[in-house]
Amino acid sequence: MRLTKVLEALGGSVKKYKNDADPVLTGIQMDSRKVKPGDLFVAIKGFQIDGHKFITQAMDNGAAAVIGENELELEIPYIQVFDSRQALGRAASAFYDHPSRNHTVIGVTGTNGKTTVSYILRHILESAGKSCSLLGTVSYIINNEVYKPSNTTPDALQIQELIYKSKDEFVVLEVSSHALKQYRIEGLELDYGLFTNLSHDHLDYHPTIEDYFEAKTLMYNYMKKEGSAVVSRLGEWGDKLSSILRAKDIPVYSLGYDDCHDLKIEDIKLNGETRFDIKMGGITYPLTFPSPGLHNVYNAALAFLTAVKIGISPDAITEALKTFPGVPGRFEMISHPEGATFIVDYAHTKDAIEYCLQAAHEHEAVKVKHIFGFRGERDKTKREHMVKASAAMSDEFTLTFDDLNGISEDEMAKELQDLNVRFGKNKGKVITDRTLAIQNAWENAQSGEWILITGKGPEEYQSMYELPTTTDKETLLYLKKMQNKEKIIG
């Protein structure tokens, strides 16, 4: 591709360009170390380091042109732009010939439920005989090949490249607020924009919840002309978003508990199997969904409404939902030989914790126990609310390590003690080693108890712990295996 084509795609993001050369570009890179001869290098002012420092390295590696924000004179064509991340998205989209135009693209945003809704949608689409790529926290799946994700929402370059590679008819991608602020979906064109919910999270990155919400609304700047929004209106933020979108003439399909919505949720039963009714167009569809909890009713309903708008028949969706296999590390159950139920879940907000603990109560747990912690260097303001929620809704809770992210063990241990005293009525235990906290619960588990281990989901531990395991699920399976062995020997 020629540089003039990139210039065209950049449009108003160009601040200054005064070179007539029009080299052929063989690739695009945002990391100087990956630049090969003929590539366009985009210098990004990062949170850790300034990519402009590596322009020389990129040129030494053979870069044919450079995009950046600084005022510079280079021996090769240099395009000065207002925002390099935005320029990267536009350039990458042009380089891969706007791949999102060849697929039906569904963006999913919101605080909680993005991964679950994406998985449910992919399951419904596949059950209807359609192929679907998925980009999100747990994995990137393209043409049925699974890749380990770098971020929930990949960077602009990766998104365009992955969608270009995709031969799938549909692409579902999770869109985080970080991604929106960082223009990672710039150059993408969405057919559907889904909103799950908004609650307190990421206030280390966003100065206020209003700023966090505004970031979420940015997703709707990337809709195709015929695109539409599908919004859960179960809280104030969904209502607010709908008004904003309607004012922008973006069609909005909504779900909620009232008749005014396109989809109405009715008659929820959460003990045993999850059952509820969906009312659409005057017809009631009784649904059974294997994943427990009210939050999963909302997730299934949002996927249902979207799938109907895509053109899948409600009866086919109803059948597909019955066989949803779940998402790794989202309310995953492991049974204990004494009749207790252990749950591994990814809850890391107050809301998510409440939904999970409530789900255990709905299942008539004789006792609800909760094991959780906090990521180092991430939104500290949500911790007290998480502890208060756990103290209010569990019979016992244990605070333990989550990812430390560079925080010292001592500092986090003190923080856990302090949170327990100040917000947990000092009724919690602190067992810093996560595997030992789980072992303690395993060894004391009684019939009918539900023990929820939240925060890590399927993710691997970043720290070395006492037991030789790398995830919460693996720790539980290890304890189960050891117990069986002891029984056989004993």
Ligand X SMILES: Nc1ncnc2c1ncn2[C@@H]1O[C@H](COP(=O)(O)OP(=O)(O)OP(=O)(O)O)[C@@H](O)[C@H]1O
Ligand Y SMILES: CC(=O)N[C@H]1[C@@H](OP(=O)(O)OP(=O)(O)OC[C@H]2O[C@@H](n3ccc(=O)[nH]c3=O)[C@H](O)[C@@H]2O)O[C@H](CO)[C@@H](O)[C@@H]1O[C@H](C)C(=O)N[C@@H](C)C(=O)N[C@H](CCC(=O)O)C(=O)O
Binding residues for ATP, as ranges, are: 110-116
For residue 268, the 8-state DSSP code is E
Minimum separation from the CB atom of position 242 to ligand Y (A): 22
Q: Which entry of ligand X, ligand Y, none binds 161, CB below 5 to 8 A by partner kind?
A: none
Stretch that binds ligand Y, among 4-12, 148-156, 247-255, 398-406 (CB under 6 A): 148-156
Minimum separation from the CB atom of position 153 to ligand X (A): 9
Q: Return the number of the residue (108 or 265) whose C-beta is nearest ligand Y.
A: 108
Secondary structure (DSSP) of 95-159: HTT-GGGGSEEEEEESSS-HHHHHHHHHHHHHHTT--EEEESSS-EEETTEEE--SSSS--HHHH
Tell me how many residues contact ligand X (CB under 6 A): 21
Task: Count CB atoms within 10 A of the CB of residue 98.
Answer: 17
Contact between 114 and ligand X by CB under 6 A: the answer reads yes
Contact between 47 and ligand Y by CB under 6 A: the answer reads yes
For residue 9, the 8-state DSSP code is H
- Contact status, residue 321 vs residue 289, Cβ threshold 8 Å: yes
Residues 287-316 that bind ligand X (CB under 6 A): 295, 298-299
Q: Which entry of ligand Y, ligand X, none binds 153, CB below 5 to 8 A by partner kind?
A: ligand Y
Contact between 415 and ligand X by CB under 6 A: the answer reads no
Contact between 160 and ligand Y by CB under 6 A: the answer reads no
Contact between 174 and ligand X by CB under 6 A: the answer reads yes
Pairing of β 274-280 and β 263-269: antiparallel
Place of tokens 């605080």: 111
Contact between 398 and ligand X by CB under 6 A: the answer reads no
Q: Which entry of ligand X, ligand Y, none binds 337, CB below 5 to 8 A by partner kind?
A: none
Contact between 176 and ligand Y by CB under 6 A: the answer reads yes
Contact between 54 and ligand Y by CB under 6 A: the answer reads yes
Q: Which entry of ligand Y, ligand X, none binds 298, CB below 5 to 8 A by partner kind?
A: ligand X
Q: Which entry of ligand Y, ligand X, none binds 386, CB below 5 to 8 A by partner kind?
A: none
Stretch that binds ligand Y, among 49-57, 365-373, 386-394, 413-421 (CB under 6 A): 49-57
Stretch that binds ligand Y, among 44-52, 116-124, 192-200, 315-323 (CB under 6 A): 44-52
Cα separation, 4 vs 95, in Å, equals 11
Cα separation, 261 vs 310, in Å, equals 17
Q: Return the number of the residue (38 or 326) whose C-beta is nearest ligand X.
A: 326
- Contact status, residue 146 vs residue 140, Cβ threshold 8 Å: yes
| Helix/strand/coil percent split, the chain, to 5 | 40, 25, 40
For residue 277, the 8-state DSSP code is E
Contact between 242 and ligand Y by CB under 6 A: the answer reads no
Cα separation, 446 vs 452, in Å, equals 14
Contact between 217 and ligand X by CB under 6 A: the answer reads no
Annotated binding site: 32, 110-116, 151-153, 176, 182, 184
Strand residues in 175-242 grouped as ranges (E): 190-195, 223-232
Residues 356-395 that bind ligand X (CB under 6 A): 356
Secondary structure (DSSP) of 77-92: -EEEES-HHHHHHHHH
Minimum separation from the CB atom of position 373 to ligand X (A): 15
Contact between 356 and ligand Y by CB under 6 A: the answer reads no
Contact between 207 and ligand Y by CB under 6 A: the answer reads no
| Structure tokens belonging to residue 65 | 């042109």
User: What SS3 string covers 293-324?
Assistant: CHHHHHHHHHHHHHHHHHCCCHHHHHHHHHCC
Among 80, 115, 118, 152, binds ligand Y (CB under 6 A): 152
Footprint of ligand Y (CB under 6 A) = 30-33, 44, 46-49, 51, 54, 150-153, 155, 176, 178-179, 182, 184
